[in-house]
Structure 1
Amino acid sequence: MHTKSFQILVQSPDLGISLESIRNYETLSDLKLSLFPQSHHSFYFTFNGKPLPDQTPISQFPPLSTLSLRSRLRGGGGDGGATGAESRDCYLNMYADKKPDKVDPNEQRLSKWHNCALSNEPLREPCVIDKLGNIFNKEALVEALLGKKLPKEFGHIKGLKDMINIQLSAIPGADDGPKFQCPIAGLEFNGKYRFSALRNCGHVLSAKALREVKSSACLVCHKEYTEVDKIVLNGSEEEVAVLRERMEEEKAKIREKKSKKVKNDDGMGLEGTRLSGTKHGVDVKAVERVSAKVEEHVKLANGNVALNGAAAAKRFKAADMAPANATKNVYASIFTSSKKSEFKETFTCRSLPLGRN
C-alpha cells in the first residue's frame, strides 16, 4: 500500500519558522526526525491548540492543515518545575504549621511605653510601677491581685506596698502617638529616650534632664532624693538585674529587722513588756494596784488551801466571819436557820425542803 502524498503546512513561533510545506511522511514522529534528527524529543506538534502524540498519522489531517511545532519546557512537565512525583501530603505538611507573624520591633518598643505591662491597654492615670521598672495601670494591677490572676513574671508584687505611684506629664492636645513627655526636657515618652521615676515623689523625668541638671532634689517638686530612689523604666537586662538585686536586699533587711524584733520580745518576758501609758492612755498606777490586789488574793487563796488541808475536819461557820461589833448569833441568823433541823447549811443560803416556808 502506497502512502498518499499530503501537503501539510508547519509553523513554529518558538523557532521562528514560518509556514513550510511538508509531504510524504507517515507520522508526526517521522516528520520531527527529518527536521531535528538529534533533538526531536524536545519538540511536539499541536493542532488547533491541542497537543498531538508523536505516533499520530499525518493522513488524518485534511490537506493543507497547519501544524504548530513547539519546544518542550525543561524542568518536569512544563508547569513550573513540578514532576508529578510530589504527593498531596507534601503540600498539607507545608501549610500545617502556621508560621509566626513577624513582629515589628518599633511597634513592640512603643507598646512597652504606651500600654500597661499587664493588660496591654493604653496607659491612663493613675499609673504605678513595680520595683523593676514595669509600668501598669493601677486599676488593672489591683484587680489582678484581688483575683489572684497575676502572671508569674510579676510574682514579686504581693500588695500595695510593692507598687510605686508615678506622675506622668501629659502632652497637651496629643490625640495620636505619644501622650506623655518629660516635664523638664520635653522629650517624648516613646522608648527612644531613657526615663527614670523618683520613688520618693513619683515624678517621671528623662535621663537627659537628670544628667544635665545636677541636683539632689526633684526638678519638679524639689523634694530631696538619693541615687537609690531612681528606678529606670523599661530598662535593659543589665539595668533590670541591678534593680532586682536591690529589691532582694531590701527584702532581706526587712526580714532581718522582723526577726530581731521577735527575739527581743521573747527575751524581755513579762517584766520587759510593761506599758508606759503615754501612747495608749493607760493608767499605770491603777494597773499596778490591781496587780497587787490580785497577788494578795492569790496568796490568801493558797493559805486557805493549806489551812483546809491541815484541818479538813473543821467546817466553815458564818459566825466565824462576823464583824467585830456584831453579835455572832444574830449575824449567823442571816445565813442560817434559827431552828435546829437535820438539813445541812450552805454558805450564803439555807437548804430547804420542797414545801417548807
Structure 2
Amino acid sequence: MAARPPQQRLQVFLHAPDLGIPTRALTLDPALSLRRLKLSLLPQTLTLDSFYFSSGGKALADSSTLSAAGIAPFSTLALRPRLSGGGGDGGATGAESRDCYLNMYATKKPDKVDPNETRLTKWTTCALSFEPLAPPCVMDRLGNMFNKERLVEALLGKKVPKAFAHIRGLKDMIPIHLSEIPGKEKAETRFQCPITGLEFNGKYGFFALRGCGHVLSAKALKEVRSSVCLVCHREFSESEKFVINGSAEEVKVLRERMEEERGKLREKKEKKEKKVDSCLSGTKHLAEERNGHLENGRAQATAKRFKAVDMAPANATKEVYASIFTSSRKSDFKETYSCRSLPLGRN
C-alpha cells in the first residue's frame, strides 16, 4: 500500500488589532482547527469564547479546520472580540424576519417598582387621587385613607372606582386626625404617633378610633392597655378600632365586620317600616285578652274600626248626628246634567 503524501502547508495572514498583534504571515497545517490556533495566540488570562475568527466578513466556527472553513492560500484571518449582549458574532445576518422584533415588544414587561416607594406612597397619599394626605382626612371601613374633598367629589360625580364600591355615602367615612411632625412639612413623612413619636410611614402598625378619630400606633395601644383614647380620654370598644392599611387577613376581618353591621341596620330598618305601616293602617289589633295572656298564639279579640256615630250624644239619634257629617236628606228628586245650574224649585 502506497504511503499518503503529506498535505501542502497553507500560508495565511493574521489580523488581531484588539490584542495588539500586528498583521503577520503564518504558515499553518490545513488540518489545524481554529480552536487550537486561537489557543496558541490568546494569553491564558483571556477565555477562548470571548474571541472568534472571521474571513471575508463571515464568522468561522471554532470546531472547523482551515481546509473545512474554505480558507484559501494568502487569505486574511481576523481575530476579533465578541460584543457582550449579542451582536458582532456573526449570528445576525440581517435576513431575519421583522416579526421577531415586533414579538419582542408585543408584551410590555412589568416595570421594576421599588417596594419601599410603594409602601411609602400608600401611607402618605390619598388612595383615590394619589395626592399627599392633607387634613381633613377620612378613612373607610377597610382601612384606606382619603382626602375628604376628593372622595366627596367622586361620590357626587358617581366616579368612585370599583375597588371602593363599598363607600356609598358619608356614613361610610370615618373622620381621622393625623398628628403632624413639627418642622417636617416638606419631608416625605408628615405625620407621627402622638404618644410614641413613631413615624407614619408604613414600617409600624397604626389604628384609628372611630369614636374620636385619633390615629395611634399599635405599640402605644399595646404598651398602655386602656379602654380610653390616649389623646382625648374618650372611651372606645374593641369594635371601634380600625387597622390602617392592614394585611389581607386584617382587611378580611374588617369587611366581615362591615357586612355584619350593615345587616343589623337593614333588619332594624325593616322592623321600623313594618311598625309605621301598622300604625298607618287605621286599625288597632287587640292581641291580648283582658288578663293579658295569649291562647294558642292568637289574639282572641278582633279588630274594631272607629266610627263617629258611636260617640253620638245621649239625646241625639244617629240620623241627626250623622247629618252633621253628611249631606242633606235624600229625596226622590233625581238631578240631571241640564238642571244643575237652575235654582232649587224651578226645575
Provide TM-score, normalisation by structure 1. Answer: 0.63
1: CA distance, partners of 2:187 / 2:324: 85
Runs of 4+ in 1 over 6 A off after TM superposition: 14-18, 40-46, 72-75, 295-298
Provide TM-score, normalisation by structure 2. Answer: 0.65
Q: Secondary structure at the match of 1:299?
A: helix
What are the within-5 Å matches in structure 2 for residues 229-268 of structure 1?
229-268=240-279
**Residue 82 of structure 1 aligns with which residue?**
91
CA drift of 1:299 comes to: 2.1
Q: Secondary structure at the match of 1:39?
A: coil
Equivalent in 26, 30, 35 of residue 28 of structure 2: 35
1: CA distance, partners of 2:324 / 2:252: 67
CA drift of 1:251 comes to: 0.6
Residue identity matched to 2:270: S
Whether the 8 Å CA contact 2:82–2:89 is kept in 1: the answer is no
Q: Secondary structure at the match of 2:227?
A: coil
What are the within-5 Å matches in structure 2 for residues 1-357 of structure 1?
35-39=28-32, 69-71=77-79, 79-80=88-89, 82-84=91-93, 86-174=96-184, 175-268=186-279, 269-270=281-282, 299-300=322-323, 307-308=329-330, 311-312=331-332, 346=343
Whether the 8 Å CA contact 2:12–2:28 is kept in 1: the answer is no
Whether the 8 Å CA contact 1:132–1:243 is kept in 2: the answer is yes
CA drift of 1:12 comes to: 6.2
2: CA distance, partners of 1:78 / 1:198: 62
Whether the 8 Å CA contact 2:12–2:77 is kept in 1: the answer is no
CA drift of 1:114 comes to: 0.3
CA drift of 1:90 comes to: 1.5
Whether the 8 Å CA contact 1:44–1:54 is kept in 2: the answer is no
1: CA distance, partners of 2:150 / 2:226: 35
Larger Rg: 1 or 2? 1
Name the stretch that deviates more: 145-154 or 78-87: 78-87
Whether the 8 Å CA contact 1:217–1:223 is kept in 2: the answer is yes
CA drift of 1:11 comes to: 6.0
* RMSD of aligned residue pairs (Cα, Å): 4.1
Q: Secondary structure at the match of 2:154?
A: helix
| 1:290-337 CA-partner distances (Å, limit 9, x unpaired) | xx89x99982167756x42xx42599xxxxxxxxxxxxxxxxxxxxxx
**Higher helix proportion:** 1
Unmatched segments (≥5 aa) in structure 1: 1-7, 21-31, 47-52, 59-66, 273-288, 316-343, 352-357
1: CA distance, partners of 2:113 / 2:147: 24
2: CA distance, partners of 1:166 / 1:116: 13
Residue identity matched to 1:115: T
Distance change (3 Å), C-alpha of 1:19 and 1:133: closer
2: CA distance, partners of 1:100 / 1:78: 25
Q: Secondary structure at the match of 2:183?
A: coil
Q: Secondary structure at the match of 1:346?
A: coil
**Residue 295 of structure 2 aligns with which residue?**
none
